[in-house]
């Protein structure tokens, strides 16, 4: 922690705020109040460990860890505990590109093929017109999370070269530059642009051109590059209803989209630089990137639809370059969230208030970081009387109950099928090797009398295929930390043998990066 012990138990001063057109005196939350909030959040959402920081007017008001790094070791989280920040890494990639823009080594609107000639998308026209800005703004026409199964689960053998090549096989679901659909793969392409322009790897660029100047001494561009792992969280997830430590699940090919590992101490330096338009150091005397480039990063590029009713009277939302943007209570909000297996993070900035809030968790509960961030934010906006922990707990419970109804009905039908002698399926008609153009081969085989699914390139995706209805099966993954069981729907040829298969996630809570719906398998000839 930066030396802030003197702030820990004192009241943060009153803030005079303008909310809409109404001036209010808002008593902002105290350090003790945040302590109470986080401890309640740990319990309510069954999160082992959380780290929280608040920056105001370039001062670190609070940077503190709560709970434990691992349920196995019981070691405490502190302000120096390292977390994978997942998609909060995207802003590091756009900042790196911004540095290169300032150095006139590239432009936001340069064509991607100028730097990566082999880059191809499904549509030749889109390939020809695709710019660096398009890599960063989730408007490619590809569907939500398209192709993410090449990076998720992380224990696979897809390389950056594979990913760049295979993007051409992903079919668009909307018109180019017409719709927001979040993607990860194009940030991997952006990382490769940085490497080819700078002559150093994305990881080296991030560490030498961003982390070193900002004195982010504990951080690294990926978990594998951390010099000291003695104070690192373990990821956690519910497994058969009980939260436990799960395997660290990551592929270094994913670094430019989600690789950064850091802690509160270092991350506060990063957001102070962001809140000051690229300035950093003693007296903000140094400039990491120009104000013009920083303005481009925080400018709306892709419209995001907003619902009819929002918690903070949000009327507009957009995506910038590596940042989500919205209006909250009359202020501009800049932020991002990040999710890896067993690790969820959130960064929220209110630039006009010079306010930054960081929440890192080692359990996959977005409700937990939202409850903390929004309670702190409420205090700065003068919003009273809303229990965000209760609000998000009730919302999570409702979502989980709805998902449970869907999955319970499916497992009841599967159990019924297994007990019915007349419903037995001749499973050998489905065995064989199935190929998808971008995901590769899957083997469907019989093991100990059971039909089995095995991905060649992503070995975590292995599990039993259970008869559901007709030619539709459900694959139950061996790794029960993945809430991602899926339908497997076989097509039959005129002989009754399977000729291909498609997939679809069962639970509405399955992470979008399990993009089973984008797969289209053809059975290989015998």
Residue 185 corresponds to which tokens in the numbers above?
A: 């793969």
Please give the CATH architecture assigned to the domain spanning 399-523: Beta Barrel (2.40)
Task: Compute CA 341 distance to the chain's CA centroid, rounded to the nearest angstrom.
Answer: 9
Say whether pLDDT at 76 is over 80: yes
- Sorted by sequence, the CB contacts under 8 Å of residue 519 that are 6+ apart come out as 149, 436, 439, 502, 503
- For the segment 50-72, what is each residue's pLDDT rounded down to a tens digit? 999 999 999 999 999 999 999 99
Give yes or no for residue 19 having a pLDDT over 90. no
CA atoms within 13 A on the CB side of 496: 6
- Per-residue confidence at 418, pLDDT binned at 50, 70, 90? confident
Establish whether domains 5-386 and 399-523 are of one fold: no
SS percent in the chain: helix, strand, coil, step 5: 35, 25, 40
Residue 526 has pLDDT above 60, yes or no: no
Average pLDDT over residues 416-427: 71
* Domain residue extents for the chain: 5-386, 399-523
| pLDDT given at position 428 | 87
Q: Which pLDDT score, from 0 to 100, does residue 296 have?
A: 97
Range in 26-30, 102-106, 166-170, 349-353 with the lowest mean pLDDT: 26-30
Q: What is the mean pLDDT of residues 469-495?
A: 94
Q: Which of 108-117, 319-328, 414-423 has the lowest mean pLDDT?
A: 414-423
Q: Was domain 5-386 assigned CATH 3.40.710.10?
A: yes
Q: Is the pLDDT of residue 6 over 50?
A: no
The pLDDT, as a whole number, for residue 420 is: 75
Q: What is the spatial distance between Cα 73 and Cα 81, in angstroms, rounded to a whole number? A: 14
pLDDT at position 421 over 60 = no
Task: Give the three-state DSSP class for 418.
Answer: helix
- Residue 273: name the closest of 287, 260, 262, 292 by CA: 287
Tokens of 508: 């509405």
Read off the pLDDT of residues 280-292 as tens digits, 9 standing for 90 and up.
999 999 999 999 9
pLDDT band at residue 85 under the 50/70/90 scheme: very high
Scanning the structure block, which residue is given the tokens 């060649």?
Answer: 456
Query: Residue 63: beta bridge partners?
Result: 53
Of residues 160, 170, 153, the one with CA closest to residue 191: 160
pLDDT band at 14 (very low <50, low <70, confident <90, very high): very low
What phi, psi does 209 have (nearest 5°)?
A: -100, -15
Provide mean pLDDT across the span 296-321: 92
pLDDT above 70: residue 299: yes
Please check the confidence at residue 154 and state whether its pLDDT lies above 90: no
Listed residue (128, 140, 250, 151) closest to 186, CA to CA: 140
Strand duo 83-84 + 236-239: pairing: unpaired
Mean pLDDT of all residues in 425-438: 91
**Is residue 389 within 8 Å of 40, Cβ to Cβ?**
yes
Q: What mean pLDDT comes out for the span 2-20?
A: 29
**Exposed, middle or buried, 241 (CB in 10 Å: 0-12/13-18/19+)?**
exposed
Beta carbons of 257 and 89 less than 8 angstroms apart: yes
Q: Which helix (H) or strand (E) holds 49?
A: strand 49-56
Give percent above pLDDT 90 in the chain: 87
Averaged pLDDT, 144-153:
95
Omega before 430 within 30 of 0, i.e. cis: no
The region that residue 26 occupies, defined by phi over 0 for left and psi between -120 and 50 for alpha, beta otherwise, is: beta
Strand pairing class (261-262; 83-84): antiparallel
pLDDT confidence tier of residue 387, bands split at 50, 70 and 90? very high
Q: What are phi and psi of 455, to 5 degrees?
A: -85, 130
Sign of CA dihedral 208, 210, 216, 218: negative
Residue range 106-126: mean pLDDT, rounded: 98
Strands 261-262 and 343-350: unpaired
On average, the pLDDT of the chain sits at 92
List pLDDT tens digits, range 189-216.
999 999 999 999 999 999 999 999 999 9
Alpha-carbon span 349 to 341, nearest angstrom: 25
Burial of residue 230, with CB atoms counted within 10 A of its CB: 0-12 exposed, 13-18 middle, 19 or more buried: exposed
**Residue 203, helix vs strand vs coil:** helix
- The Cα-based distances of 374 to 222, 306, 346, 348, 496 in angstroms read 29, 18, 11, 10, 56
Q: What is the pLDDT of residue 309?
A: 66
On the question of pLDDT at 308 being above 60, the answer is yes
Which comes out higher in pLDDT, residue 428 or 173?
173
Query: Is the CB of residue 435 less than 8 Å from the CB of residue 524?
Result: yes
Nearest to 251 by CA among 270, 220, 224: 224
Instruction: Give the residue from 417, 422, 443 showing the smallest Cα distance to 498.
Output: 443
What would the mean pLDDT of 493-518 be, rounded to a whole number? 94
């Amino acid at each position: 922690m930066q030396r802030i012990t003197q702030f820990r138990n004192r009241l943060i001063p009153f803030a005079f705020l303008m909310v809409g057109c109404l001036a209010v005196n808002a008593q902002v939350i105290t350090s003790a109040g945040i302590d109470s909030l986080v401890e309640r959040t740990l319990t309510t959402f069954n999160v082992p460990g959380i780290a929280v920081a608040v920056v105001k007017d370039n001062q670190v008001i609070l940077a503190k860890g709560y709970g434990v790094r691992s349920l196995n070791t019981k070691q405490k989280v502190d302000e120096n505990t390292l977390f994978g920040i997942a998609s909060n890494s995207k802003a590091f990639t756009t900042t790196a590109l911004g540095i290169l823009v300032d150095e006139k080594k590239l432009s936001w609107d340069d064509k991607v093929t100028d730097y990566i000639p082999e880059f191809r998308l499904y549509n030749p026209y889109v390939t020809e017109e695709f710019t660096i800005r398009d890599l960063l703004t989730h408007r490619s026409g590809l569907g939500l999370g398209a192709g993410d199964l090449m990076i998720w689960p992380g224990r696979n053998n897809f390389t950056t070269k594979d990913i760049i090549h295979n993007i051409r096989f992903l079919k668009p679901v909307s018109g180019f530059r017409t719709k927001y659909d979040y993607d990860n793969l194009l940030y991997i392409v952006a990382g490769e642009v940085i490497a080819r322009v700078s002559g150093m790897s994305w990881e080296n660029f991030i560490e030498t051109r961003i982390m070193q100047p900002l004195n982010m001494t504990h951080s690294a561009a990926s978990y594998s590059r951390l010099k000291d792992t003695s104070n690192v969280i373990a990821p956690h997830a519910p497994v058969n209803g009980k939260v436990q430590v799960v395997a660290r699940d990551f592929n270094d090919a994913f670094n430019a989209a989600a690789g950064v590992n850091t802690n509160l101490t270092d991350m506060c330096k990063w957001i102070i630089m962001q809140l000051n338009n690229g300035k950093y150091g003693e007296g903000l005397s140094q400039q990491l990137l120009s104000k013009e480039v920083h303005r481009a990063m925080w400018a709306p590029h892709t419209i995001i639809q907003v619902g009819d009713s929002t918690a903070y009277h949000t009327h507009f939302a957009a995506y910038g370059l590596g940042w989500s943007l919205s209006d909250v209570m009359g202020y501009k909000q800049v932020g991002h969230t990040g999710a890896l297996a067993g690790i969820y993070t959130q960064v929220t900035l209110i630039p006009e208030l010079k306010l930054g809030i960081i929440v890192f968790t080692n359990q996959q509960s977005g409700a937990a970081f939202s409850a903390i961030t929004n309670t702190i934010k409420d205090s700065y906006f003068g919003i009273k009387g809303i229990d965000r922990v209760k609000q998000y707990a009730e919302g999570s419970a409702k979502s989980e109950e709805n998902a449970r109804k869907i999955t319970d009905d499916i497992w009841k039908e599967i159990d019924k099928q297994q007990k019915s002698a007349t419903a037995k399926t001749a499973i050998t008609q489905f065995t064989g090797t199935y190929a998808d153009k971008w995901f590769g081969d899957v083997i469907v085989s019989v093991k100990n009398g059971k039909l089995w699914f095995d991905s060649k390139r992503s070995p975590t995706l292995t599990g039993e295929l259970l008869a559901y209805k007709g030619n539709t099966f459900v694959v139950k993954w061996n790794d029960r930390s993945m809430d991602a069981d899926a339908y497997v729907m076989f097509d039959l040829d005129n002989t009754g043998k399977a000729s291909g298969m498609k997939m679809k996630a069962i639970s509405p809570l399955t992470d979008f990066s399990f993009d089973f719906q984008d797969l289209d398998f053809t059975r290989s000839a015998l």
